[in-house]
Structure 1
Amino acid sequence: MGMESLYNEEDRRVVREFVNMLNESAYLVETDGTVVVANTVLAERLGIPIEEIEGGNIFELLPDDAARERRGSLSEVLRCGMPLVFAETRDDCHYLNSVRPVKDERGGIACLAFIGFDITDSKRTEDALRRANAELEGYGHAVAHDIRGPLAAAAIGADLLVMLAKQSDTATGWTELVKTAGLVRSNVEKAVTLVEGLLELAQAGNAPVRAEPLEIRDLVLDILDEHAREIRKREVKVIVPDSLGTVTADRIQIYQVFSNLIANSLRYNNSAQPMLEFGYLGVDASGRHRFIVRDNGPGIPSELQDTIFLPFVSGGHDRPGIGLSLVEKISAAYGGYARVRNDNGACFEIAIADRAVQTR
């Protein structure tokens, strides 16, 4: 079938049926950009009916930036007579495009075939994998650095124990022996806590496996009860609205989110009149419940603004610096986010989407 026969409606219908078998956009254009045949995927991506695409000029149908890209690729293929592959990003979507010359019986280029592959999902997966690998590498460096200290101290303590054991015939010797044994135990416990924290952080990114309707206000009040002694001692003003919404989620995971935010605010708020406030911002356009937890402390130092949710950036007395990382990873597992800004203190905002109720 010669290319001139594509102007026959029946032959164009046959070619159109073929290109419609593709799950990616495909179309044939003449050397001046006139569209001979196009498939429904292209029509859907452009939001233009097939009838208006075929017979039109592709450079006039596409957005300006895409039209310039196509014009350049068409000229290059006409010049060299070889297929061309190029990538482009448009409206947060990623495409891999192929342009191939279609030659007539005399070997000349009669038209060009364009196929656009939507690689957005693959690109996002690749980016997520790259971020995960970078995160994992960061964990490895952090753990190697942080665990070296307590293990080195434990090793020194063990050597000292041997020496003291040889001199333990006096009361002073036994006292030092017991003291050093306690030091060794303390540093080993620090190393164990670090490893357990890393495992907890790795599990926090898992998709929730259990879900139930949770009254967030009740959950927050339960956590505040655990800190009641400190709150009373420091006279912390706690503001909890009558409702914080209902979220369908895994109780343990959401508990971890608010528990770490509360602990963080209490730990770093050095105000003479400390305040801790909770708020529910409702559901956003993506169906995510939005919450804020704010305090009137010193806020987040500027040098930590971009790294506050990374593991081991800072830590309290009982955690190896993973609390806010847990908040971020769990929020992400629910299709949400964790953000922070300074607003007369630190103000954390989290978003969490509902999950289907799990039945056994």
Structure 2
Amino acid sequence: SPLVTINGFLGYLEADVAANDMKRFRHDSERIKEAVVKMHTLLGELLELSRIGRVANPSEMIQFEELIHDAIELVSGRIDKTKVNINVQPNLPKVFGDRQRLTEVLQNLIDNALKFANTETNPTIEIGFESEENDLHIFFVRDNGIGIPAELHDRI
């Protein structure tokens, strides 16, 4: 996904230069640099994974909104292209886990939602949680797309 972001913002850089908008050019350049740093991190983890067979990051308490923000940044290029509205439920709870892995899970879910969101009428992705008994929470990433056929639900 950082490559998608980089590719998307390279197109913006061309438009920025054509419009002689240096402020926007600097902003878009910064976004590319951020995506490069994220790609560097992902590649480093991939190399580490190939060496030890498993990446084990320490678990920690994390604001779920931070994870969502990080995941959205990783797919921001595709979000900009698809013009999808992303609604994040306020007051999300903290979670305990591996920040990097949880961000990857959210990134994959958001990326899938972007692929299947309804592109014809107000494409929307909603991210939030529902409380269950015993203080358990069910987190979700929903889109207004075609959905998954009922006969495939047991495979998820």
**TM-score normalised according to structure 2 size:** 0.57
- What amino acid is aligned across from residue 291 of structure 1 in structure 2? F
Is contact 1:284–1:290 with CA below 8 Å preserved after alignment? no
Q: Which residue of 2 aligns with 1:220?
A: 68
Measure, in 1, the Cα distance between the counterparts of 2:96 and 2:106: 15
Shift of residue 299, structure 1, vs aligned partner: 0.3
> Could you say what secondary structure the match of 1:299 adopts?
coil
Measure, in 2, the Cα distance between the counterparts of 1:232 and 1:263: 12
In structure 2, the CA distance between the partners of 1:258 and 1:274, relative to structure 1 (3 Å rule), is same
Is contact 1:270–1:297 with CA below 8 Å preserved after alignment? yes
In structure 2, the CA distance between the partners of 1:306 and 1:233, relative to structure 1 (3 Å rule), is same
In structure 2, the CA distance between the partners of 1:294 and 1:228, relative to structure 1 (3 Å rule), is same
- Report 1:112-191 matches (<5 A): none
Could you tell me which of 290, 299, 302 is aligned with 2:138?
A: 290
Q: Which residue of 1 aligns with 2:95?
A: 247
Matched, 1:278 2:132: no
Q: Which residue of 2 aligns with 1:28?
A: none
Is contact 2:117–2:146 with CA below 8 Å preserved after alignment? yes
Measure, in 2, the Cα distance between the counterparts of 1:262 and 1:306: 21
Matched, 1:262 2:89: no
Deviation digits for residues 298-327 of structure 1 (CA, Å, limit 9, x no counterpart):
0002332221x3xxxxxxxxxxxxxxxxxx
- What amino acid is aligned across from residue 229 of structure 1 in structure 2? G
Is contact 2:131–2:138 with CA below 8 Å preserved after alignment? yes
Q: Which residue of 1 aligns with 2:13?
A: none
Q: Which of the pair has the greater relative contact order for Cα pairs under 8 Å at 6+ separation?
A: 2
Shift of residue 253, structure 1, vs aligned partner: 2.0
In structure 2, the CA distance between the partners of 1:210 and 1:283, relative to structure 1 (3 Å rule), is farther
Shift of residue 209, structure 1, vs aligned partner: 5.9
Deviation digits for residues 204-231 of structure 1 (CA, Å, limit 9, x no counterpart):
8x9x762111111111012112222221
Is contact 1:214–1:248 with CA below 8 Å preserved after alignment? yes
Q: Which residue of 2 aligns with 1:138?
A: none
CA RMSD of aligned residues (A): 2.7
> Could you say what secondary structure the match of 2:154 adopts?
coil
Could you list the runs of 5+ residues in structure 1 that have no partner in the other structure?
1-195, 310-360
Measure, in 2, the Cα distance between the counterparts of 1:251 and 1:261: 15
Measure, in 2, the Cα distance between the counterparts of 1:241 and 1:274: 17
Measure, in 1, the Cα distance between the counterparts of 2:142 and 2:117: 10
Q: Which residue of 2 aligns with 1:236?
A: 84
In structure 2, the CA distance between the partners of 1:210 and 1:289, relative to structure 1 (3 Å rule), is farther
- What amino acid is aligned across from residue 295 of structure 1 in structure 2? D
> Could you say what secondary structure the match of 2:145 adopts?
coil
Measure, in 2, the Cα distance between the counterparts of 1:214 and 1:284: 22
Is contact 2:70–2:103 with CA below 8 Å preserved after alignment? no
Identity among equivalent pairs (%): 33
Could you list the runs of 5+ residues in structure 2 that have no partner in the other structure?
1-45
> Could you say what secondary structure the match of 2:146 adopts?
coil
Q: Which residue of 2 aligns with 1:172?
A: none
Number of equivalenced pairs? 106
Which has the larger share of helix? 2
Deviation digits for residues 158-203 of structure 1 (CA, Å, limit 9, x no counterpart):
xxxxxxxxxxxxxxxxxxxxxxxxxxxxxxxxxxxxxx9xx99xx7
- What amino acid is aligned across from residue 296 of structure 1 in structure 2? N
In structure 2, the CA distance between the partners of 1:303 and 1:233, relative to structure 1 (3 Å rule), is same
